[in-house]
Amino acid sequence: MKQKTTKYINVNGRLMDLSHPRVMGILNLTPDSFYAGSRKQTEKEIADRTNQIMEEGGSIIDVGAYSSRPGAADVSAAEEMERLRKGLPVIFREQPEAVVSVDTFRADVARMCVEEFGVAIINDISAGEMDRNMFPVVARLGVPYVMMHMQGTPQDMQRHPHYDHLLKEVLYYFSEKIQRLRDLGAKDLIVDPGFGFGKTLAHNYELLAQMDELSVFELPVLVGVSRKSMIYNLLGGTSEDALNGTTAVNMVALLKGADILRVHDVKPAVEAVKIASALNTYTTF
């Protein structure tokens, strides 16, 4: 286990200290996300989920209006914006001080969410690959930006994922993206290794085993493994049965340097963070 450097991100003019890992709760405004429990359509469902995330100890609410599950149907930018314009006011009505992240790969959607609603973070599954305007837009907006590693697109990423050297390719991918973003003046960059996105079961666990190598960038690391197929395809069952496995993988990720856990189940993740933090108190380096 490598010693962690203290990391901060600027969210709406306030510094969020990531020396104690944070939990990001998922709120999907989509009808087809892979985990049914995360889909929220009505105003009451959105309000209840917003309050649940915060009451269970979440620090960030991650709002998605475009399903990125393997093989998901494409959704137009207009439809994605319509869903967000419906959901974001409810979220901020319920929790005016909440730190809200929007999960989008579209620059126009990112701009709308920040400028119209004051969204604090943009979470991009494609790291600028699916919209060439994303990097200059997030640099101008000045918000924290999560860049995820993905091979392919949500429509084709799981067909034939292949790597000659997984870790080296992931590290090179991030090094090139980080340099481009810094050249544009972007700050508060966050890396996400992209578990389940263009990776086989073996790729996912190989990457998890070597995840601490991401510390070379000295940037916050976000991990999203919640109820994914890398868990239930190994253990059996479906996403509905994958909470215990999710908690186990989250704990490994924390010990490997994760700073943010993106999850469906906030309370178990918060408990994992508390245990990992207690363990780190007694760890010598």
Taking a C-beta distance cutoff of 8 angstroms, is the pair 63, 88 a contact?
yes
Taking a C-beta distance cutoff of 8 angstroms, is the pair 272, 250 a contact?
yes
Report CA Rg, the chain. Answer: 17
Report the interhelical angle of 243-255 vs 266-281 (nearest 10°). 30
Known active-site residue 180: no
Q: What are the b/e assignments for 158-195, b being 16+ CB within 10 Å?
A: beebebeebbeebbebbeebbeebeeeebebbbbbbbb
Q: Which of 40, 262, 267, 274 is catalytic?
A: 262
Q: Which of 40, 83, 228, 256 is catalytic?
A: 228
Known active-site residue 182: no
Residues making up the chain, counted from first to last? 285
Helix (H) or strand (E) holding 147: strand 145-148
Catalytic annotation, residues = 228, 262
